[in-house]
Chain A
C-alpha cells in the first residue's frame, strides 16, 4: 500500500486561509470516512487535530476543519497564526495489513 499523497509544502500569511490536500485511492480514503489529520511541531510528537474526516478532538481550535470528496481529503486552517507553522500529516483507516496508512507530510510555513 503506497502512502497517501500530500503536497510537500504550503504557505500563507497570518490571517489567511490555507488548505492541505491528501490524495488516496478507492481502497482507503474513498472507501472509509476515517481520515485523520495530525500536527507536528519540530522536536515534538504528532498531535491529532481531526478524526473521522471532520471531527475535532476536545481542545483543538475550530480554525481547523476537515473534509472529504471521493478519494481525497482536505485540511483547512483559517485565520492562520504563527503557531500553526508545523508539519501536517493525514491518515486513513484501511481494513487490511497495518490498519493505518499515512501521508507523506506537508510543511506549513506562515510568512
Chain B
C-alpha cells in the first residue's frame, strides 16, 4: 500500500526554524515527484513546490520561492519542508503528496498543522 505519513503538528514562535517531514512507503521513492501543498485556515489548496527525489530537481511556486526549502533524504524515503524563520502567516496545514503527469496528485499525506504564534 502506498502511504505518505507526515510528522506531527507543530507550535512555534515567530522567527524560529522548522523542518517537517513526509515518510514514503509502498513504491520506489526515487522515481516519482513529491510535492507540498499549503492550506491556510478556511482557504483553498496552494501548490508550493515539487521535488524529484532521484536527482533532487526542485521547483518552487512563485509565492514560495525563497521562503521555504524542499529537500529529500533518499536513504530513508523521506521528503522535508523547512523554514529558516517562521512568520505568523505561515500558520497553515501542510500536505505532502505524490504527483505524476498521468494521475495528477494521487496520494496525499494526512497533513501537518503548523501554528506560529508569540
- What is the interface residue range for chain A against chain B? 20 to 34
- Kindly list chain A residues whose C-beta atoms are within 8 Å of the C-beta of B99: 99-100
Interface contact A45-B109, CB-CB below 8 Å: yes
- Kindly list chain B residues whose C-beta atoms are within 8 Å of the C-beta of A87: 44
Interface contact B106-A57, CB-CB below 8 Å: yes
**Given A97-B59, A98-B50, A99-B50, A47:B108 Cβ within 8 A:** yes
Interface contact B104-A89, CB-CB below 8 Å: no
- Kindly list chain A residues whose C-beta atoms are within 8 Å of the C-beta of B101: 32, 34, 93, 99
CB 8 Å contact bits of A53-84 with B (1 = contact, 0 = none)? 00001000000000000000000000000000
**CB-CB nearest in chain B for A52:** B102
**Given A98-B61, A99-B50, A100-B99, A46:B104 Cβ within 8 A:** no
- What is the interface residue range for chain B against chain A? 20 to 34
Interchain nearest-CB distance for A61 vs B (Å):
17
**CB-CB nearest in chain B for A46:** B108
Interface contact B61-A89, CB-CB below 8 Å: no
Interface of A is mostly: strand
Q: A37-51: which residues lie under 8 A (CB-CB) from chain B?
A: 38, 40, 45-48, 51
Assess whether A30 is interfacial by the CB under 8 Å rule.
no
Assess whether A105 is interfacial by the CB under 8 Å rule.
yes
Assess whether A22 is interfacial by the CB under 8 Å rule.
no
Interchain nearest-CB distance for B107 vs A (Å):
8
Assess whether A12 is interfacial by the CB under 8 Å rule.
no
- Kindly list chain A residues whose C-beta atoms are within 8 Å of the C-beta of B37: 102
Assess whether B47 is interfacial by the CB under 8 Å rule.
yes
**Which residues of chain B have a CB within 8 Å of any CB of chain A?**
33, 35, 37, 44-47, 49-50, 59-62, 95, 97, 99, 101-111
